[in-house]
Structure 1
Amino acid sequence: MTTTLERTSRGAPDLTRRALSSRRRITNQVALGAIALALVIAIVPLGLVVYSVISKGGGIMSGEFLTGDISLSVRRAGGGMGPAIIGTLLITGGAALMAVPLGVLGAIYLNEYGKQRPLARLIRMLADIMTGVPSIIMGLFIYTIWVLTFEARSGFAGALALACLMLPVVIRSTEEMLKLVPDELRQASLALGARKWRTTVTVVLPAAISGITSGSLLAIARAAGETAPIIFVVGAVNATNWNLFSGENTALPAQIFSNASQPFQIAQDRAWGAALTLIAIVLIFTIIARFIANRFAIKER
């Protein structure tokens, strides 16, 4: 019987442990290098965007800018984004209150109860279709069924439009997180005598809370930056409107679009300042949500 060394000397592949170990190290280094390169490629444009927003919007940031009413003249200095900040918080918060609970409950049904039933498959298909629908279509939809029906623009109409955009993202992301929860946890809870709903609430959801929070934040971040639905259904005001259900309102994306489309430098500076404010709001809520998720997640002992 020929030895490994003899087979190698005749031109056959070297299958010795040393050769395999060397190949694996090389393959591992190449893979790590490719991953690092992909990370750099992803971070560079993100860093450039953040740098541009901070450098161009930081100069106009002040207490008056964050709390003052919106200027009536686009070519004059002064004014602030107070009404737009309040409007963004009200509209996005209202949309999240509608979309996140419904989306989580829908995902629980799909993963824990519906499985592959016809209704569950239909809901998944509709959620996938809604995920790809342009935001302007949602704005037109809410404008048709709500604004024209009640003949009034309001922050609640904007919340409805954003909730329609958020709902499919929450459903699909939450369902994927629930799929990652090991079935052994469910079986152990059921074996101890817990009912299925109690197992879902006390075992499955805490185990997946971090991923559910991330998916919900992704949906909220997407909704907070949408402009087309806000322009269609919310209207425009220069003073703060705290009433979500009555009267026109405004939001930061609408003010960014309005000021950035002007040829005056002061208006464009306000647009950059509004963009920086919107990024800061999303960052703050991301940190808060991460803290809440880590607080209530199941810890390994």
Structure 2
Amino acid sequence: MTATIPDADRPAVTPAFQQVSLARKTKNGVATVLVWLAFLIAVIPLVWVLWTVVESGITRIPYTNWWTEDFSLVLSDEVGGGVLHAIVGTLLQGLVCAIIAVPLGLLVAIYLVEYGRRTRLAKVTTFMVDILSGVPSIVAALFIYALWVTTLGLPRNGFSVSLALVLLMVPVVVRSSEEMLRIVPDDLREASYALGVPKWKTIVKIVLPTALSGIITGIMMALARVMGETAPLLVLVGYSSFVHWDMFQGEMASLPLLINNERATNSMTEGSVGFERIWGAALTLVLIIALINLAATLIGRLVAPKKK
């Protein structure tokens, strides 16, 4: 028979996880300071850029005609007009790019995660996606120019720009979708298989809805990234000062192309017409991308699995 010691007579012992040495506390404090310092170093240039864009471009944004008119009836050095033609071109090119790139990138991601694990084709596909993600935008534009214009003899137009943007958007969609699919617990897949559900239906009904929130966010971020590209526009389409809806015929404006055109044709002195248009177009592009990211966040929250 063993004697028990009352709790009041037991010696007070500090739990092991609370016995942190001074050296470990020092290292933790230094690491915390370094992380915050790195954060501030990254944030300061971002805030500086945003402040410069807002301060320089806010002069044209509040006017209604900036959003509802184009430059078709305005001379290059006259005050007036708006960027409706550039907004339409930017959104059309981005929409056509997304229509092509999103299904392609999502199907590749599904294959890599669900069907092609450890296969030779999956390794080759992953390698090619990595290569494509590092291709500069000017190289993608020159490739489409060589294929679309030189080889096929088709005209430079907005659709060719969208094809070049597809090459830049697909690897981003593949990588973001692949990561979202990988974090879906295998327990959900195994439970579905145990109930006799086919693999394709498990992917459609279980895996994709679970990862849909992150997939949408990744797609919107990829779209926002390609909408700011300039090189494909300079190579594959000419600038138009009026609203043009046909993606297959004629020139088409966009916000990056408008900025480049105004820089080349107007004075860049502070307070001039060209200066205000350039910074106004830059701020407009920032606002559009911010709205796209906000929409992605809201849609992601709506389609996210509900926690009970």
TM-score, scaled to structure 1: 0.89
Q: Is 1:34–2:34 an aligned residue pair?
A: yes
Q: How far is the alpha carbon of 1:259 from its aligned partner?
A: 1.7
Aligned to 2:9: none
Q: How far is the alpha carbon of 1:263 from its aligned partner?
A: 2.7
Task: Flag the 1:68–1:298 CA change in 2: closer, same or farther, 3 A.
Answer: same
Aligned to 1:9: none
Aligned to 1:7: none
Which whole-Å deviations, capped at 9, do the CAs of 1:39-83 have from their partners, x for residues lacking one?
222111111111111110001112111221126643222222111
Runs of 4 or more consecutive aligned structure 1 residues displaced over 6 Å after TM superposition: none
Q: How far is the alpha carbon of 1:24 from its aligned partner?
A: 4.7
Q: 2:291 aligns with which of 277, 280, 284?
A: 284
Q: Is 1:234–2:256 an aligned residue pair?
A: no
1:59 alignment partner, SS class: coil
2:78 alignment partner, SS class: coil
1:116 alignment partner, SS class: coil
RMSD, matched Cα: 2.0
Task: Flag the 1:144–1:22 CA change in 2: closer, same or farther, 3 A.
Answer: same
TM-score, scaled to structure 2: 0.87
Q: Measure, in 2, the Cα distance between the counterparts of 1:129 and 1:158.
A: 20
Which whole-Å deviations, capped at 9, do the CAs of 1:157-215 have from their partners, x for residues lacking one?
11111111101111122112211222111111211222111111222122222322232
Q: 2:88 aligns with which of 65, 86, 89?
A: 86
Q: Measure, in 2, the Cα distance between the counterparts of 1:259 and 1:187.
A: 58
Aligned to 1:64: 65
Aligned to 1:10: none
Which range moved further: 268-277 or 35-44?
35-44
Aligned to 2:50: 50
Aligned to 1:132: 134
Task: Flag the 1:17–1:107 CA change in 2: closer, same or farther, 3 A.
Answer: closer
The 5 A counterparts of 1:1-301 are: 19-20=19-20, 23-61=23-61, 62-70=63-71, 73-148=75-150, 149-261=152-264, 262-264=266-268, 265-301=272-308
Give aligned pairs, total. Answer: 287
Letter in 2 for 1:270: R
Q: How far is the alpha carbon of 1:28 from its aligned partner?
A: 3.6
Task: Flag the 1:18–1:193 CA change in 2: closer, same or farther, 3 A.
Answer: closer
Task: Flag the 1:93–1:18 CA change in 2: closer, same or farther, 3 A.
Answer: closer
Q: Give the conservation status (yes or no) of the 8 Å contact 2:157–2:250.
A: yes
1:60 alignment partner, SS class: coil
Q: How far is the alpha carbon of 1:27 from its aligned partner?
A: 3.9
Q: Measure, in 1, the Cα distance between the counterparts of 2:249 and 2:41.
A: 46
Structure 2 residue runs without a partner (length 5+): 1-15
Task: Flag the 1:272–1:294 CA change in 2: closer, same or farther, 3 A.
Answer: same
Q: Measure, in 1, the Cα distance between the counterparts of 2:225 and 2:205.
A: 29
Task: Flag the 1:17–1:191 CA change in 2: closer, same or farther, 3 A.
Answer: closer
Greater fraction helix:
1
Q: Measure, in 1, the Cα distance between the counterparts of 2:300 and 2:50.
A: 26
Letter in 1 for 2:273: I
Q: Measure, in 1, the Cα distance between the counterparts of 2:172 and 2:250.
A: 29
Q: Measure, in 1, the Cα distance between the counterparts of 2:139 and 2:155.
A: 19
Letter in 2 for 1:94: V
